[in-house]
């Protein structure tokens, strides 16, 4: 059963056409609505060297969910589960229905660049008798002094990341993955994120976060000569089952938006060391101009402050440590006192967390300018194996 792609469901582009009566824009006639065919028809391959959802361009909707194996479930149940999950991921990413009891939630829509990505947490290995296969890189992250971590929303045996440009397509996949878990695994925690929809800006741009900053500017790029080395475990893998895999650090970082929004624009820009409007360094140029870290103003003060987030996090300030940040914003309503429960689902990919996230977070933990406006509330570290070859399931080399 295949779905119809991108005809009836296509969204209209800008509705702001002039000429409406009594202060309202006229509703565009259907034939004038340019179909965004690329949105629904976008299809990401499942059987690839590196799992999808790592270098895939950011999608508009994301779900992050951790599962724990149930009491009595071990390696055998895990094998069957990863088989079911891989089959579901392959089907849904191709725009097909789930194998059983499809809910119809994504009917009429194309795959909408859906990706489903699977990872294993530290606790998975003891549960399945596979301790000998557990990579050292999965050793628990160190405690950081500024952590306010909720254990119930941290870690987990298994981790699934779902991304799609359509919220219904993303939910459809989430529900299918949860149903596939059956009696073998239970949801431990789940988080929902979002990013700008493609087409919202006139040209593709770096995403903004909920502080209003362009976030992702200095990410390593797949065209960089050292990209694979920084982000992926080599094909010769250690352990072998992690060949072409990556390690993901997941942090739910609350933004203290009430405090942040009280700052003047100048204060906000000093926190980051970059212009809010263009993302350019405070020392001038455009978004991708190299910052001049030594440049001072007429009073001899550094223009990019010594504790600016963009200075402290630079690879050249952290022994070369680099990671691919592929984060989503979250908003889970307002606390009883009206404080927004919103921020960044920080998702960072690297070949080794000890050469990526850990040294940078150690530095940030000493207090960069951004620290006063954020709070790390949950944390996870997962080993994400390479992509499954045709006929294989994700994690097969670990589990068989
Ligand atoms: C850069 C925001 C947390 C690592 C940046 C930039 C922004 C930003 C706006 C500059 C533009 C860019 O290059 O992307 C935030 C916000 C955070 C946060 C709002 C929390 C809510 C973190 C954390 C880490 C981190 C926890 C790692 C431990 C980096 C790195 C860079 C960066 C590596 C690029 C540095 C470079 O290569 O020059 N961040 N960040 N950030 N951030 Fe963060």
Question: If you take atom 36 of ligand 1, which residue's CA is the nearest one?
Answer: 314
Please give the pLDDT value at position 2.
44
Question: If you take atom 31 of ligand 1, which residue's CA is the nearest one?
Answer: 313
CA distance 256 to 308: 17
As given in the structure block, the two tokens for residue 295 are 């440049």
**Up-side HSE of residue 186: CA atoms within 13 Å toward CB?**
6
215 is known as an active-site residue: yes
For residue 316, how far is the Cα from the chain centroid?
A: 24
Q: Is the peptide bond before 358 cis (omega within 30 degrees of 0)?
A: no
Contact of 379 with 251, CB cutoff 8 Å: yes
* Look-up of token digits 């080993």: 383
- Name the residue among 184, 198, 122, 195 with its Cα closest to residue 159: 122
The 10 Å Cβ neighbour count of residue 113 is 26
Please give the pLDDT value at position 27.
64
Please give the pLDDT value at position 36.
54
Tell me which of 215, 315, 353, 365 to substitute to probe ligand 1's pocket, judged by most ligand atoms within 8 Å of the beta carbon: 215
Return per-residue pLDDT of the chain as tens, 400 residues. 444 433 333 333 333 333 345 667 666 565 565 555 678 999 999 999 999 999 999 999 999 999 999 999 999 999 999 999 999 999 999 999 999 899 999 999 999 999 999 999 999 999 999 999 999 999 999 999 999 999 999 999 999 999 999 999 999 999 999 999 999 999 999 999 999 999 999 999 999 999 999 999 999 999 999 999 999 999 998 999 999 999 999 999 999 999 999 999 999 999 999 999 999 999 999 999 999 999 999 999 999 999 999 999 999 999 999 999 999 999 999 999 999 999 999 999 999 999 999 999 999 999 999 999 999 999 999 999 999 999 999 999 999 9
* Look-up of token digits 């570290």: 381
Residue 343 Cα to ligand 1 midpoint, Å, equals: 13
Question: If you take atom 30 of ligand 1, which residue's CA is the nearest one?
Answer: 313
As given in the structure block, the two tokens for residue 27 are 């509703």
Q: Which pTM does this prediction carry? A: 0.93
ipTM: 0.99
Atom of ligand 1 nearest to the CA of 274: 10
CA distance 38 to 34: 11
CA distance 79 to 84: 9
CA distance 142 to 364: 13
As given in the structure block, the two tokens for residue 139 are 């050793």
Please, what is the Cα angle at 284 between 287 and 275, to 5 degrees? 55
Contact of 111 with 95, CB cutoff 8 Å: yes
- Name the residue among 302, 344, 29 with its Cα closest to residue 192: 344
Question: If you take atom 38 of ligand 1, which residue's CA is the nearest one?
Answer: 314
Q: How much helix, strand and coil, in percent to the nearest 5, is found in the chain?
A: 25, 20, 55
Residue 253 Cα to ligand 1 midpoint, Å, equals: 12
Atom of ligand 1 nearest to the CA of 363: 28
Please give the pLDDT value at position 30.
53
CA distance 32 to 12: 8
Residue 301 Cα to ligand 1 midpoint, Å, equals: 23
Question: If you take atom 35 of ligand 1, which residue's CA is the nearest one?
Answer: 314
Please give the pLDDT value at position 13.
35
**Looking at 102, 166, 215, 368, which residue is catalytic?**
215
Please give the pLDDT value at position 37.
60
CA distance 400 to 397: 6
DSSP string for residues in 10-74: PPPS----S--GGG-PPPPPGGGS---HHHHH----SSSSS-TTSSSPPPSEEEEEEEEEPTT--
The pocket around ligand 1, CB under 6 angstroms, is made up of: 209, 211, 213, 215-218, 253, 255, 272, 274, 309-310, 313-315, 323, 343-344, 346, 357, 360-361, 364, 374
Please give the pLDDT value at position 1.
40
What is the DSSP secondary structure assignment for residue 109, as one 8-state letter? Answer: S
């Amino acid at each position: 059963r295949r779905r119809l792609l991108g005809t009836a469901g296509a969204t209209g582009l800008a509705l702001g056409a002039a000429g409406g009566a009594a202060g309202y824009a006229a509703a565009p006639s259907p034939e004038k609505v340019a179909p965004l065919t690329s949105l629904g028809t976008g299809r990401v391959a499942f059987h690839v060297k590196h799992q999808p959802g790592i270098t895939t361009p950011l999608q508009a909707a994301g779900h992050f969910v951790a599962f724990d194996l149930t009491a009595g479930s071990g390696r055998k149940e895990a094998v069957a589960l990863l088989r079911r999950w891989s089959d579901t991921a392959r089907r849904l990413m191709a725009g097909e229905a789930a194998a059983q009891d499809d809910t119809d939630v994504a009917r009429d829509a194309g795959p909408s660049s859906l990706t489903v990505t699977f990872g294993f947490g530290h606790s998975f290995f003891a549960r399945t008798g596979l301790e000998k296969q557990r990579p050292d890189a999965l050793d628990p992250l160190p405690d950081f002094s500024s952590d306010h971590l909720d254990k119930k929303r941290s870690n987990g045996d298994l981790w699934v990341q779902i991304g799609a440009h359509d919220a219904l397509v993303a939910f459809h996949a989430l529900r299918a993955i949860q149903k596939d878990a059956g009696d073998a695994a239970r949801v431990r925690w789940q988080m929902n994120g979002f990013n700008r929809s493609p087409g919202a800006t006139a040209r593709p741009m770096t995403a903004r976060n909920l502080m209003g900053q362009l976030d992702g500017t200095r990410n390593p790029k797949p065209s960089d000569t050292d990209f694979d080395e920084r982000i992926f475990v080599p094909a010769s893998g250690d352990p072998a089952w992690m060949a072409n895999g990556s390690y993901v650090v997941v942090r739910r970082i609350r933004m203290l938006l009430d405090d942040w929004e009280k700052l003047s624009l100048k204060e906000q820009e000093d926190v980051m060391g970059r212009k809010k409007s263009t993302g350019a360094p405070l020392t001038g140029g455009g978004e991708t101009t190299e910052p001049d870290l030594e440049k001072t103003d007429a009073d001899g003060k550094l223009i990019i402050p010594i504790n600016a987030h963009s200075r402290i996090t630079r690879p050249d300030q952290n022994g070369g440590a680099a990671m691919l940040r592929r984060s989503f914003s979250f908003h889970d309503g307002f606390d009883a006192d009206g404080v927004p429960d919103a921020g960044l689902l920080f998702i960072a990919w690297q070949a080794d967390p000890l050469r990526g996230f850990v040294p940078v977070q150690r530095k940030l933990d000493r207090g960069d300018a951004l620290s006063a406006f954020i709070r790390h509330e949950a944390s996870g570290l997962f080993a994400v194996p390479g992509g499954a070859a045709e006929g294989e399931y994700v994690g097969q080399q670990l589990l068989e």
